[in-house]
Amino acid sequence: MALAFDLHGGRWFTDPEEMLARCLPLLADPDRLREIGHAALDVLRAEPRTDPDRIAAIGYGTGGAVVLELGRADVDLRAIGTVNALTTGRPGEAVRIRCPVWAGVGSEDPIMPAGQRDAFAAEMQAAGVDWRLVIYGGALHAFQLNRDSEMFRASRVAMYEAGEPLFTRAQEAGEARRDASFDDVLRMITGIIATGYVSDEQRGRVLRFALDGIRTGKD
């Protein structure tokens, strides 16, 4: 059983400055972060299929700060995962974290620089937390990569090596158009995702229209 919660209430941000204006006040307010996290937990625990004794929390960006604050608030979790959010808490509260913590961040992330990484590591270590920090070399915030870097080129090669055989199988099974290539599909989806939309619903609708054109019988 999994719950994905939207701490922005359905808003879709395309302007980085607008996103920061939304997130920075939240990051400065640990009590508000905990309120958001507890609200999500209440929904999850109300689901009959949820095992309340086996809940883990994973957060991306500001969501990572939310799950870390749940741990500092002594919430009983089996694991915490935080991506791009190595936020530190109020003094002494990290000792309440009772589960393993995994954190991932890019080495070139300007929002989580080396000093912040060191502060996070020091907090976890001093509190006796079972923690691990993985630093992805060359990656920026949100794991964006410099397109000229060797890592970007290697990632692109790996993506094509994994995706092209799957697309070929779909073509052989008659599920995908034979006049399309995996590169065509990837570029189409990348362009669609990068475009601004009025809502998540509109983005999903446009993506479905595009994918329908790849399926057989939709020429």
**pLDDT tens-digit readout, 133-152:** 999 887 777 766 566 767 67
Give pLDDT, residue 219.
43
Give pLDDT, residue 150.
73
Q: How many residues does the chain have?
A: 219
Q: Is 145 helix (H, G, I), strand (E, B) or coil?
A: strand
Give pLDDT, residue 151.
66
In 3D, which of 19, 40, 128, 135 has the Cα closest to residue 86?
135
**Angstrom distance (rounded) from CA 56 to CA 68:** 11
Q: Which CATH superfamily is domain 16-143 in?
A: Alpha/Beta hydrolase fold, catalytic domain (3.40.50.1820)
Give average pLDDT by consecutive 10-residue segment, the chain, 219 residues: 79 77 90 95 93 92 94 96 91 95 90 92 97 87 67 78 90 90 88 77 86 74
**Angstrom distance (rounded) from CA 120 to CA 88:** 6
Give pLDDT, residue 70.
96
Give pLDDT, residue 103.
94
105-125 pLDDT, tens per residue? 988 888 888 999 999 999 999
Give pLDDT, residue 46.
93
CB 162 within 8 A of CB 154: no
Q: What are phi and psi of 108, to 5 degrees?
A: -105, 20
Give pLDDT, residue 215.
86
DSSP state of 132: E
In 3D, which of 139, 127, 60 has the Cα closest to residue 99?
127
Give pLDDT, residue 144.
61
- 155 burial level (CB within 10 Å; 0-12, 13-18, 19+): middle
**Angstrom distance (rounded) from CA 37 to CA 8:** 13
Task: For the chain, give every domain's residue range.
Answer: 16-143, 150-214
Give pLDDT, residue 128.
97
Give pLDDT, residue 218.
44
